[in-house]
A = this chain, B = another copy of it.
Amino acid sequence: MTEFELIARYFSRPKVAAIVGNGDDCAVIAPSPGNAFAVTTDTLVEGRHFLPTIDPYKLGRRAVHVNLSDLAAMGAQPRYALLSLTLPQINEAWIAKLSEGLWSALDQFDVELIGGNTTRGPLAIALTAMGELPPGEALLRSGAKADDELWVSGPLGDAGWALYCMIGEIKGEASAAQIAKYECPEARVALGIALRGVATSCIDISDGLLSEAAHLADASRVSINIDFAAIPTNLSEQLASPEHAAKARHCLLSTGDAYELLFTAPVAQHAVVSRLLRAYGLDGACIGRVTDSDSAARVRVLDAYSRPMDIEIKGWDHFA
């Protein structure tokens, strides 16, 4: 099978909203009147972002959700995607499954695949995603204000726990639900759009709660207090076990792959945010409070007695 046949068979469909779709030198697209495009790109590299044993269907799905999670964090409506696929060889059964997973996720959000390329090399999937939004309503990282509440859209720690168990870093058991949380993240697109005009700042948790909170604090020039006990999690048992407590805490605060939204909103919007989380079936929670910028700490985690816990803020660094 040639490169062109591969693209034609597995990665092409007739255009829908694009002015020029797949198959020319470029796609041509325009946002609807009054809207702008939010654009993001992410590369998933084998051995870094996914294990070599990953089911290709889940990999295709994951590549889409990881990118759409960035659109969700801006409050954008996903519209278009471009795919750059680097493959060591053509294994048609594997590619067919990858493409099924990819399309299932694109279809879930009515996203049109408008271009891309395939090339030979070490396995990697780069996706560029574009969404629409009224430009003044974008959810930036920089809008958090003192006294705003800090929210997270769902339980944290499951994906990190599952990954650590899978690679043997933790000698413990990951439930099927935890493994699914790692392998099949769910971009919080509907919530992101609903948060326009409600949230004052927003980011998605790809690298870890504390480092993402630090990004919000830095961009907004504020400090953030997180109430440890308020963080929603399915790791309560592990957190209570002497053997697993330290690693479970690490998963909760510092491992990535959660793809939940972390956002701030005025206290006056508390009921609105609670209602939105319920409406979208999300087990999110208010987990902290924004304060005026505090030179001592950008992000502080407080224990049940409101005492700062001694925790290093460190997210995932690909070169650490």
* Partner-B contacts on A (CB < 8 A): 1-4, 6, 19-20, 23-31, 35-43, 45-49, 70-71, 73-74, 76, 80, 82, 84, 86-87, 89-90, 114-122, 124, 126, 128, 130-131, 133, 135, 138, 140-142, 202-204, 219, 317-320
Contacts and interface: CB of A to CB of B under 8 A. Distances in A.
A69 to B, nearest CB: 8
A320 B5 CA distance: 12
Given A26-B131, A42-B84, A48-B121, 5 more contacts: A2-B319, A25-B202, A41-B128, A120-B318, A121-B122
A265 to B, nearest CB: 17
Contacts of A43: 84, 86, 117, 119, 124, 126
Contact of A40 (B26, B39, B42, B317): B26
A39 B26 CA distance: 5
A117 B319 contact: no
Nearest to A67: B26
A135 to B, nearest CB: 5
25 contacts: A4-B317, A20-B138, A25-B40, A25-B70, A25-B74, A25-B204, A26-B39, A26-B71, A26-B76, A26-B131, A27-B39, A28-B38, A30-B135, A41-B82, A41-B126, A41-B128, A42-B84, A43-B84, A45-B119, A45-B121, A45-B122, A120-B319, A121-B124, A122-B124, A128-B128
